[in-house]
C-alpha cells in the first residue's frame, strides 16, 4: 500500500512519520483492496489545546473513504482517525457481503 504523508506548514519528525505509517498499514490488513492512503497533518486555529488535526483519505476501488479528527497530539488524532476508518471499512465490507 502506498502511503503519502503531508504535514502542512510544519515539518513532522521521523518518529511521528513512522508511527503514522505503522498505524495506516494496519488498515491494509482489514481490506486487501486498499490501493493507498493520503495523510494530512495540520494545526488548527482553535483557541483550545486540541489544535492538532489528522485527515486520512483511503483510495479503494469500491469507494474512497475519508476521516478527520482533532486532538491534543498528532498521535492521538491519527489513532482516532484510524479507528473511524476501521469502522467505515467494516461497514463497507458488510454492505458488499449483503449482511
* Domain ranges within the chain, ordered by starting residue: 2-97
Stretch 53-78: mean pLDDT: 95
pLDDT at 33 over 70: yes
47: left (phi over 0), alpha (psi -120 to 50) or beta: alpha
d(CA 79, CA 87): 13
Buried-state track 29-60, b at ≥16 Cβ within 10 A, e below 16 = eebeebeebbbebbeeeeeeeeebbbbbbbeb
Q: Give pTM, 2 decimals.
A: 0.92
Range with lowest mean pLDDT among 16-20, 48-52, 67-71, 73-77:
48-52
- What is the assigned CATH class of domain 2-97? alpha beta
Amino acid at each position: 500500500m502506498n502511503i503519502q504523508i503531508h504535514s502542512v506548514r510544519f515539518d513532522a519528525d521521523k518518529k511521528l512519520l513512522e508511527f503514522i505509517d505503522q498505524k495506516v498499514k494496519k488498515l491494509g490488513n482489514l481490506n486487501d483492496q486498499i490501493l493507498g492512503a493520503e495523510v494530512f497533518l495540520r494545526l488548527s486555529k482553535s483557541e483550545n489545546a486540541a489544535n492538532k488535526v489528522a485527515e486520512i483519505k483511503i483510495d479503494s476501488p469500491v469507494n474512497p473513504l475519508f476521516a478527520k479528527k482533532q486532538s491534543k497530539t498528532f498521535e492521538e488524532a491519527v489513532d482516532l482517525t484510524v479507528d473511524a476508518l476501521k469502522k467505515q471499512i467494516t461497514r463497507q465490507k458488510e454492505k458488499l457481503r449483503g449482511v
